[in-house]
Structure 1
Amino acid sequence: MRITLVGPTHPYKGGGARHTTELAHRLAAAGHRVVIESWRAQYPALLYPGQQTVTEPEGPPYPGTRRDLAWYRPDSWYRVGRRAGREADLVALAVFSPVQVPPYLVLRAGCGTAARVVALCHNVLPHEQRPGDTALMRALLRRVDAVLTHSPQQRALADRLLGGSGPPVRMAELPPHLPDIGPRQPRPPGVRHRLLFFGIVRPYKGVDVLLRALAAGPPEVALTVAGEFWGGSAELRALAEQLGVAHRVEWREGYVPAGELPALFAECDAVVLPYRSATATQNVWLAHAHGVPVIATRVGTLPDQVRDGVDGLLCRPDDPADLARAIADCYAPGRLDALRAGVRPVDTDASWDRYLAALTDTAG
């Protein structure tokens, strides 16, 4: 099959770019003819305040990549759509935000009817919504031929937006698309009394809940918060001071390159994901790839990824007391060793086989 993927890839960073790139490699390895239509300018800086690109790729770049799309060039949206409609049997639009909807609507119009167009929804709606988001996403979903989501909750949300009419909505678990970190290294024994929050810091991620739980939990436990802060870190730093835990929190602001991840994960006993809401995340797989258990909330796909009491611990969302309980449980005698022993290698190939089958099935 001829497939065009429209989405970010290197030099753009993060999980979205890695997913697009890994998907292209795996589709090509399965015998499909694949092109990535990517961006030379994806978002205005005002809409994406963090670091958008990196110098070093976080995995092998895909050779069949074009970078003709630009947010400030509507003619590029239509031109790429026309080309994709001529060259592909299936066009997959990687959807992360309603900001992408205007370019994607123009691109979809350019495709015409020769190719089937699927909305590959990493997020059906944002965690922190703005006026107009629902209308924009509904407009896009109604104009594609199929929708692929990454969790049952996101599938249900897409169905609600479509209101019982429109294209079929399918679901496939998001497969691991981790940065190139090399083989898993054995972890030295011992307890470090340090937890790690890793990733972009936004309100729905619940770092404020984690700080409150840290204050209520074992007093010898420290925390590293590593990632980009949308809106700055001043409010969270002030909360840490107010709670009396500022001396126990290391703030590592900024994007963490892939080469620095092994050392970062080696310094912690567990990764904490205190999310208030979630769609699908790579951070459980990333922690497990480094042999680290995960403390997470029961939202999104996290309860499916973390085996409570086996390779991690689960707690209620937006509940500092229950998160503090899970942290204390993690440091109960023998518990951390048992959780580490329960961490399994990430089953990458089987997950990707299921995902590729779900995507190619949307071609009809």
Structure 2
Amino acid sequence: MRIALVGPAFPYKGGGAQHTTELAHRLRAAGHEVALESWKAQYPGFLYPGQQTIDVPEGEVFPGTRRELSWRRPDGWLRVGRRLRSYDLVVFAVLSSVQVPAYLGLLRGIGGAARTVALCHNVLPHEPKPYDRPLMRALLRRVDGALVHSPQQEELARLLGTAPVSVADLPAHLPATRPAEEPVGSGARGRLLFFGIVRPYKGLDVLLRALPDGVGLTVAGEFWGGLDDTRALVAELGLRERVELLPGYVPAERIGGLFAACDALVLPYRSATASQNVLMAFEHGVPVIATRVGGFPSQLREGVDGLLADPGDVVSLREAIVRFYREPERFRAQVRRPDHGPVWDAYLLALTGAGL
């Protein structure tokens, strides 16, 4: 099958670019002829307050990636769309509704000549704006199918659109990290890790309020606003000596050291769909404490390699952390490195098979 993927790739960073690139590699390895259409300008700066691009790729760059799309050039959307008419399948990686106008332009250029699928990382964002719903409704009523990553997202996609919707677990698309220079030793370190972009729905404020006495926390990632408020909350709670804030993009070569220095990764999200962070922790041999939202309950084994707490509940999260520290080495010993192959096989089948 001739397949065109449209989505972010290097020099863009983060999970969206990693997923699109890994998907292209996997589809080619499965015998398909694959083209990857990426962006030279994906978002206006005011819509993406973090660092958009990087100098060193986080994985293997897909050969021949084209980078012609720009939010500033609607004329280019139609031109690229016409070029994609020769493909059997065109897949749009939807990370934000801001991409939708460009995708609608591409669809106009394709003109029904190829089957089209919206691959929705989030049907609607965790912190929605008034324009999100009408834009996603327009897209999901014009494509031939949609692929989502949870039953809840399936329900939302069916509500907004008319196209068939398939569901598949989000497979691993992790940055190419390396182990810490010093191997992880035995014994608890008394330190937890919060990793990734910091946004209100991820519940860092809940974690700070839940942090038990004697336990430290490292917060590593870009702050999409709220850094001063977080610093103020740390001071208000008397946590300056125990909380380390490392704001900013974390390059792949630093990730191994962060995980090696912690006892568990904490994901105190108020809401979620699918996340790579559980898999990333397990790749580094680190247990996970998460909330009962999105895919977290199915990704970890409660009481074995992780623990679950109620979202937005300080007491529940503190109890989970205290329970973890009763036997941290037992949790660590039961972490298993995930087998990503079967999940990817099912994902490719959902994307290219009869389901869509």
> 1:174 is aligned with what amino acid?
L
Q: 1:363 to 1:172 in 2, by over 3 A?
A: closer
- Identify the residue that residue 120 of structure 2 maps to in structure 1: 121
Deviations 1:216-253 (A, max 9, x none): x2x11000010000014001111111111122110001
Look up the SS of the partner of 1:314 in the other structure.
strand
**1:274-285 aligned within 5 A:** 274-285=268-279
Deviations 1:265-321 (A, max 9, x none): 101000000000001000000000000000000000010101110110001000011
Is contact 1:90-1:363 (8 Å) kept? no
Is contact 1:294-1:311 (8 Å) kept? yes
Q: CA deviation at 1:133?
A: 1.0
> 1:90 is aligned with what amino acid?
L
Q: CA deviation at 1:183?
A: 7.0
Choose the corresponding residue for 1:201, options 192, 198, 218: 198
> 1:298 is aligned with what amino acid?
R
- Identify the residue that residue 316 of structure 1 maps to in structure 2: 310
**1:166-315 aligned within 5 A:** 166-182=162-178, 187-214=184-211, 217=212, 219-315=213-309
Choose the corresponding residue for 2:332, options 340, 343, 347: 340
Instruction: Give aligned pairs, total.
Output: 355
Q: CA deviation at 1:342?
A: 1.4
> 1:336 is aligned with what amino acid?
P
**1:116-155 aligned within 5 A:** 116-155=115-154
Q: CA deviation at 1:136?
A: 0.9
Deviations 1:317-355 (A, max 9, x none): 0001100001101111xx211111111111111111111
Is contact 1:116-1:363 (8 Å) kept? no
Q: In the aligned structure 2, how far is the partner of 1:50 from the partner of 1:182?
A: 24
**Percentage of matched positions with identical amino acids:** 63
Is contact 2:178-2:256 (8 Å) kept? no
Q: In the aligned structure 2, how far is the partner of 1:14 from the partner of 1:37?
A: 17
Q: CA deviation at 1:362?
A: 5.5
> 1:352 is aligned with what amino acid?
W
> 1:262 is aligned with what amino acid?
G
Look up the SS of the partner of 2:338 in the other structure.
coil
Q: CA deviation at 1:182?
A: 4.5
Q: In the aligned structure 2, how far is the partner of 1:52 from the partner of 1:312?
A: 32
Deviations 1:3-50 (A, max 9, x none): 000000011000000000000001000100000000011111111111
Q: CA deviation at 1:142?
A: 0.4
Look up the SS of the partner of 2:332 in the other structure.
helix
Q: CA deviation at 1:181?
A: 2.1
Q: CA deviation at 1:81?
A: 0.9
Is contact 1:97-1:126 (8 Å) kept? yes
**Comparing 167-176 with 177-186, which one deviates more in the overlay?**
177-186
Q: CA deviation at 1:157?
A: 1.2
CA RMSD of the aligned region, Å? 1.3
> 1:178 is aligned with what amino acid?
L
